[in-house]
């Protein structure tokens, strides 16, 4: 096979001309670099110093969550109709990527103010608190799941679609905050008034692993709302109402299903004591896996 044939085959496999593919890949690389430096700018630190001089693992985990979330959303953008001109394609990808970074940053801030209001998340991460970094990364990935699902659900980019995307996004964030409040109440009830936020601030990694799994599972369930609520540009409020209704119902089913799984799979094991009092990360990961497994089962039942 000569070079021309190889390029033709590559274009056929990629589904679009090579120049456009090259522009998209270049913009993705640029956006990843921007994601790194804006993360440092937002935190008020030099990313090079934090990552390579201070060897701040927590900062690296937090940054990795943001980049993973950005990658998830970008994967949905490539399937949307966009300009065919190379220049406008680059501007379109760059603009959408920057908007994604801004939304994800706003989402993290929103969650911090409402769900982690008793602690200084940024300060703790800069001090090397891995538990808080795990939760921060999970919030970024969970909200990115919702953004990706919204892009696929809408199938277009218009002013009306962008309005719905932002509205659904903040509905999802609010539901994550409410779920966190439910988990905080359970934590307090099972630990004689103990505080989930204080445990995270004290770098309780087993608690953080389990809580991160809950956040990812919730994001996965909320992202399935579009499967039961087909997008209709003529009825925007009905779309939002359907998204909110299924998300709330889905999260309630998730918590019930995961509790049943925990009761059956982890029978004769006091999960709360093992995770919260004995810092048993193995049980925490297993409990988190059961929660995420519940989300996968529920999502596939809905989408089948």
Is 70 part of a structural domain of the chain?
Answer: yes
Number of domains present in the structure of the chain: 1
Higher pLDDT, 5 or 30: 30
* Span 7-21, pLDDT tens digits: 455 455 445 566 777
Is 5 part of a structural domain of the chain?
Answer: no
What SS3 string covers the chain? Answer: CCHHHHHHHHHHHHCCCHHHHHHHHHHHHHHHHHHHHHHHHHHCCCHHHHHHHCCCHHHHHHHHHHHHHHHHHHHHHCCCCCCCCHHHHHHHHHHHHHHHHHHHHHHHHHHHHHHCCCCCHHHHHHCCCHHHHHHHHHHHHHHHHHHHHHHHHHCCCCHHHHHHHHHHHHHHHHHHHHHHHHHHHHHHHHCCCCCHHHHHHCCCHHHHHHHHHHHHHHHHHHCCHHHHCCCCCCCHHHHHHHHHHHHHHHHHHHHHHHHHHHHHHCCCCCHHHHHHHCCCHHHHHHHHHHHHHHHHHHHHHHHC
Is 132 part of a structural domain of the chain?
Answer: yes
Is 6 part of a structural domain of the chain?
Answer: no
Is 8 part of a structural domain of the chain?
Answer: no
pLDDT number for residue 290 = 92
Is 259 part of a structural domain of the chain?
Answer: yes
Is 96 part of a structural domain of the chain?
Answer: yes
Is 28 part of a structural domain of the chain?
Answer: yes
* pTM for the full predicted model: 0.87
* Span 259-299, pLDDT tens digits: 898 889 888 888 888 888 888 899 999 999 999 999 999 88
Q: Which domain holds residue 98?
A: 16-303
């Amino acid at each position: 096979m000569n070079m021309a044939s190889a390029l033709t085959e590559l274009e056929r496999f990629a589904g679009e001309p090579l120049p456009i593919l090259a522009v998209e890949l270049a913009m993705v690389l640029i956006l990843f670099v921007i994601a790194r430096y804006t993360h440092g700018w937002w935190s008020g630190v030099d990313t090079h110093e934090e990552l390579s001089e201070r060897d701040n693992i927590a900062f690296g985990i937090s940054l990795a969550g943001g980049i993973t979330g950005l990658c998830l959303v970008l994967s949905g953008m490539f399937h949307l109709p966009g300009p065919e001109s190379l220049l406008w394609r680059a501007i379109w990808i760059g603009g959408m990527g920057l908007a994604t970074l801004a939304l994800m940053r706003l989402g993290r801030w929103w969650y911090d103010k409402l769900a982690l209001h008793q602690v200084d998340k940024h300060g703790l991460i800069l001090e090397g608190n891995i538990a808080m970094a795990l939760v921060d990364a999970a919030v970024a990935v969970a909200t990115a799941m919702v953004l990706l699902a919204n892009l696929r659900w809408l199938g277009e980019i218009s002013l009306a679609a962008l309005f719905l995307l932002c509205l659904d996004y903040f509905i999802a964030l609010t539901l994550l905050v409410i779920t966190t409040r439910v988990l905080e109440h359970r934590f307090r009830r099972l630990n004689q008034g103990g505080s989930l936020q204080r445990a995270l601030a004290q770098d309780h990694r087993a608690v953080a692993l389990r809580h991160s799994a809950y956040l990812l599972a919730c994001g996965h369930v909320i992202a399935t709302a579009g499967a039961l609520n087909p997008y209709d540009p003529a009825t925007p409020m009905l779309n939002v109402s359907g998204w909110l209704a299924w998300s709330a119902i889905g999260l309630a089913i998730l918590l019930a299903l995961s509790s049943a799984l925990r009761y059956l799979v982890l029978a004769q094991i006091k999960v709360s004591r093992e995770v919260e009092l004995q810092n048993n990360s193995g049980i925490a990961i297993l409990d988190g896996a059961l929660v995420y497994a519940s989300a996968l089962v529920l999502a596939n039942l809905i989408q089948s």
